[in-house]
Amino acid sequence: MTQAQDAAERIASLRSEIDAHNYRYYVLDEPSVPDAEYDRLFRELKALEAEHPELITPDSPTQRVSGSALSAFGTIRHEVPMLSLGNAFEEKDLLEFDRRVRDGLADELVSHNGNDLFSQTAEIEYTCEPKLDGLAVSLLYERGVLVRGATRGDGTTGEDITANVRTIRNVPLKLQGRGWPDVLEVRGEVFMSKAGFEALNERAMEAGGKTFANPRNAAAGSLRQLDSSITAKRPLEFCCYGYGRVEGGTLPNTQYEILQSVRKWGIPISKELKLAKGAQACRDYYHDIGERRDGLAYEIDGVVFKVNRIDWQKELGFRAREPRWAIAHKFPAREELTELTNVEFQVGRTGAITPVARLKPVQVGGVTVTNATLHNMDEVERLGVMIGDTVIIRRAGDVIPQVMQVVLERRPADARPVAVPTHCPVCGSEVERTQLVKRGKGRESVSVGAVYRCVGRLVCQAQLKQSIIHFASRRAMDIDGLGDKIIEQLVDRCMVKSPADLYALTFEQVIQLEGFAEISTRNLLSAIANSRTPVLARFIFALGIPDVGEETAKLLARTFGSLERIQRALPEVLIYLPDIGYEVAYEIHNFFEEEHNQNVIGDLLRNGVQVQEEGELHPEFAGYATFADFIEKLGIPYVAATGAKNLAGHFKTLEALITADWLDLSAMKGLNERAKNAVRDFFSQAEYAERARMIEAQLREFGMHWESERTQVEGLPLAGQTWVLTGTLEAMSRDVAKEKLEALGAKVSGSVSAKTTCVVAGPGAGSKLTKATELGVTVLDEQALLDRLASFEVS
Ligand code: IVH
């Protein structure tokens, strides 16, 4: 055998192996090899094809992205027109559809069911599929090879998007198995999953590019690219729901079996495809999918029912452009158009002034919407929204309605820009724009933030109310029965000017409040009294420090063990905790530095609040750093991880480093000249040397010893690790899994970052999983988590 024959054989076998893996992965959803193995096969094929370009065929899995961009799409004619569907919005529409189908098939049903035409047993069998929210596409296979992809267009002529559909990973370039007709045109929806859409928008945002309003727009924008190499980078997917031209072969007799055959040939179909007998069963399917709508990986706008028997479909035929044998049962829309009549500003707990869109009332998903969030001024700018604009509003599940997009074509001539108020709409205090302070390399850089804040603090009734609502809430001080309405009254009547005043309320004061009688007054006062002994974590959380949620509060309490230590902690010390960056560290520090907050804490304690503290420093804290980390975190210019490590190894102690003479420093290896100069300059400034001593002293006071490298930490097995749980867990709830991990010393965080040790991903995992994969963070499934947990159990 010649070398070329060898190569040809190997190429053929690699291609069929890769095609088989693709089939398992995209169609059966049962990956057969690890990604690394797949990549290896793919690379080998690419390399062989590069050596033997004459052996490249268009159906090779390496040939998805073709040469150059088009100047325009060609047009194609659909020999079998691509039709649309009639809609059912209510159950009655569905029952009527079923009635029409049965009327239309009356003759058939008589022969089918004898004279039983009007009995309940004359039920029609329907296929049920989700109605994916994407774009209809036709794929033409000739002798099993994909030769053309086209958009629906007006149903008769569409655009030739062959180069683009070839880049869609789950579209086979070549059919699998056997038995397909010589000419087979399949039809289906090209769409983008929710996770794919989010990841795409995240990437666009990072690159400062334009984001898409929803997965449908993202799919449409991606498919209509003249440059298919752009389409190739977009996470598009295809799902087949029907067929067009069929020549030189036949398809089975039912819609259900046709889709099963198509699947066998390697074309993905919906996993939710079901058969239902009669309208009641269709209705059940509609409700079942409706309930699972939020949990599906992709957006759907309804379900589609089709008469299963193809001969009956033919018998029923079409009316205008809609088949009489199929109907789309739509879910209530989640997006609607309406007019933005005004933008008002609300003041939150931390004083953040948030723009809220006031809307002309509109029904979205069965609920009347009159307001929508605009998040912050960056978002207002990103949307380019003006007062008077027509906007697209979206409401999904329990999520607060959002403004997705402006319909620019409908902007009225008198549209007004959104202006941030210069003074707080509630208390009249000044409004300032937050600053983003980035500290690093011994320098600070300040840029403007997206958030505007009322500087009024607790003078501002809005902030005061929100602070107290937060303070009293279940996960904070847990004052039972102290609802928002009561808090509003207390603040409006000036009975409460800070959270501390709650503990000084008297019977006479409370009983004056609307809706209060003797018993309810006693109940509220005893609920307040019962909240007097919070554990430290709850107390810290209740204070409402900006950016300090429950997790951070727990971490602070667990690490430092006392309120006094947390109050004193320097920002440079706080950053040793996992997941606390400079921004949060400064928020915490500044909060406790502020006189007003000190007074509130003092008043709380004076009014009888007794914080339950562990008192002990957690040994885990000692494991958060090495001397090298310490040097690195000082932010000396040009001294990064390696330089810091070498300095630590050479000098061993901070004093030795501060007092190092120039000779000693020059002789040192593993540090360049520039960095050496920077080290000398840094410590020659008395304030920097002093600050470093202060940080070190506090770290030592709090239990850190440089001798202990992270690996030698005594204590819990997962100490210092950060875990993230995402998706659904089956054997135990996420809360239980979290508790178990925390008991082993791990921190369980809600977001994935480069600091994350491990992500546990269950079914339905989305953007967090994508991010973990991107960052190369270890990902475990639930079984692997259970195995890990079991391995720590003491037998
Ligand atoms: S069947 C003659 N099935 O909905 C039958 N359409 O409103 C034509 N769609 O253009 C379509 N999921 O883009 C069918 N399971 C499904 C579908 C589906 C989504 C879209 C398709 C079509 C539109 C009609």
Residue 192's nearest CA partner among 216, 228, 166 is 216
Does 256 score more than 70 pLDDT?
yes
Region 459-529: CATH code:
1.10.150.20
Determine the 3-state secondary structure of 564 from DSSP.
helix
Q: How far apart are CA 407 and CA 412, in angstroms?
A: 11
CB of 189 closer than 6 angstroms to any ligand 1 atom: yes
pTM of the predicted protein model? 0.59
> What is the chain's percent helix, strand, coil content, to nearest 5?
45, 20, 35
Residue 301's nearest CA partner among 26, 96, 88 is 88
Distance 58 CA to ligand 1 centre (A): 30
Q: How many CB atoms lie within 10 A of CB 451?
A: 21
- Residue 367 CB contacts under 8 Å (≥ 6 apart), including other chains: 395
> Residue 515: left (phi > 0), alpha (psi -120 to 50), or beta?
left
CB of 304 closer than 6 angstroms to any ligand 1 atom: yes
Q: How far apart are CA 298 and CA 216, in angstroms?
A: 10
> Residue 116: left (phi > 0), alpha (psi -120 to 50), or beta?
alpha
Residue with tokens 């040097």: 631
* Structure letter (DSSP) for residue 235: -
Residue with tokens 């169609």: 27
Distance 473 CA to ligand 1 centre (A): 48
Tell me what pLDDT residue 712 has: 38
For the ranges 366-375, 408-417, 744-753, which has the lowest average pLDDT? 744-753
* Nearest-CA residue for atom 23 of ligand 1: 84
Distance 133 CA to ligand 1 centre (A): 9
For the domain with range 534-614, which CATH number is right: 2.120.10.30, 3.50.50.60, 3.60.40.10, 1.10.150.20?
1.10.150.20
Task: Band the pLDDT of 794: cuts 50, 70, 90.
Answer: very low
Q: How far apart are CA 117 and CA 137, in angstroms?
A: 39
> What is the mean predicted confidence (pLDDT) over 239-267?
97
Task: Band the pLDDT of 120: cuts 50, 70, 90.
Answer: very low
> What is the mean predicted confidence (pLDDT) over 47-67?
89
For the domain with range 333-458, which CATH number is right: 3.30.470.10, 3.90.1300.10, 2.70.170.10, 2.40.50.140?
2.40.50.140
What percentage of the chain carries pLDDT values higher than 90?
Answer: 64
543 near 482, Cβ under 8 Å? no
Does 728 score more than 60 pLDDT?
yes
Helix (H) or strand (E) holding 204: helix 194-206
Amino acid at 24: R
Residue 121's nearest CA partner among 102, 107, 104 is 102
For the domain with range 1-53, which CATH number is right: 3.30.465.10, 1.10.287.610, 2.40.50.140, 1.10.10.10?
1.10.287.610
Tell me what pLDDT residue 3 has: 76
- Residue 560 CB contacts under 8 Å (≥ 6 apart), including other chains: 566, 569, 617, 618, 621, 702
CB of 87 closer than 6 angstroms to any ligand 1 atom: no
- Residue 433 CB contacts under 8 Å (≥ 6 apart), including other chains: 448, 449, 451, 452, 453
Tell me what pLDDT residue 1 has: 58
Q: How far apart are CA 161 and CA 139, in angstroms?
A: 10
Binding-site residue set? 35-39, 84-85, 129, 152, 189, 306, 330, 424, 427, 460
Tell me what pLDDT residue 366 has: 77
**Sign of the C-alpha dihedral computed for residues 421, 427, 430 and 434 taken in this order:** negative
Binding-site residue set for NAD(+)? 35-39, 84-85, 129, 152, 189, 306, 330
pLDDT, tens digit (0-9, with 9 covering 90-100), for 422-474: 999 999 999 998 876 665 544 566 777 778 999 888 889 999 999 999 999 99
Q: How far apart are CA 197 and CA 199, in angstroms?
A: 5
Token pair for 205: 């945002």
Determine the 3-state secondary structure of 174 from DSSP.
strand
pLDDT, tens digit (0-9, with 9 covering 90-100), for 652-685: 889 999 998 888 888 888 899 999 999 999 999 9
User: In angstroms, what CA-CA distances link 415 with 90, 359, 727?
Assistant: 38, 14, 43
The residue whose CB lies within 8 Å of the most ligand 1 atoms, and thus the one to mutate among 78, 82, 83, 84, is 84
Q: How far apart are CA 138 and CA 111, in angstroms?
A: 36
192 near 200, Cβ under 8 Å? yes
For the chain, the structural domain boundaries read: 1-53, 123-328, 333-458, 459-529, 534-614, 619-700, 720-791
> What is the mean predicted confidence (pLDDT) over 385-402?
88
Residue 331's nearest CA partner among 369, 293, 295 is 293
Tell me what pLDDT residue 338 has: 94
771 is catalytic: no
Residue 500's nearest CA partner among 548, 543, 563 is 543
For the ranges 308-317, 600-609, 702-711, which has the lowest average pLDDT? 702-711
According to CATH, the topology of domain 123-328 is: D-amino Acid Aminotransferase; Chain A, domain 1 (3.30.470)
Binding-site residue set for Zn(2+)? 424, 427, 460
The atom of ligand 1 lying closest to the CA of 87 is 7
Residue 150's nearest CA partner among 190, 120, 180 is 190
Does 521 score more than 90 pLDDT?
yes
The atom of ligand 1 lying closest to the CA of 133 is 19
Tell me what pLDDT residue 709 has: 41
Distance 230 CA to ligand 1 centre (A): 26
Does 118 score more than 70 pLDDT?
no
pLDDT, tens digit (0-9, with 9 covering 90-100), for 150-198: 999 999 999 999 999 999 999 999 999 999 999 999 999 999 999 999 9
Residue 138's nearest CA partner among 241, 271, 269, 270 is 241
The atom of ligand 1 lying closest to the CA of 303 is 15
CB of 84 closer than 6 angstroms to any ligand 1 atom: yes
pLDDT, tens digit (0-9, with 9 covering 90-100), for 489-499: 999 999 999 99
Does 713 score more than 60 pLDDT?
no
> What is the mean predicted confidence (pLDDT) over 501-519?
96
C-alpha dihedral, 737 to 741 to 743 to 749, nearest 10°? -100
Q: Which of 46, 92, 131, 264 is catalytic?
A: 131
466 near 349, Cβ under 8 Å? yes
In total, the chain counts a number of residues equal to: 795
Q: How far apart are CA 737 and CA 785, in angstroms?
A: 9
Region 720-791: CATH code:
3.40.50.10190
For the domain with range 619-700, which CATH number is right: 1.10.10.10, 1.10.150.20, 1.20.210.10, 1.10.300.10?
1.10.150.20
pLDDT, tens digit (0-9, with 9 covering 90-100), for 134-161: 999 999 999 999 999 999 999 999 999 9
Q: Which residues is 179 bridged to in the sheet?
A: none
Does 111 score more than 70 pLDDT?
no
Identical fold, 534-614 and 619-700: yes
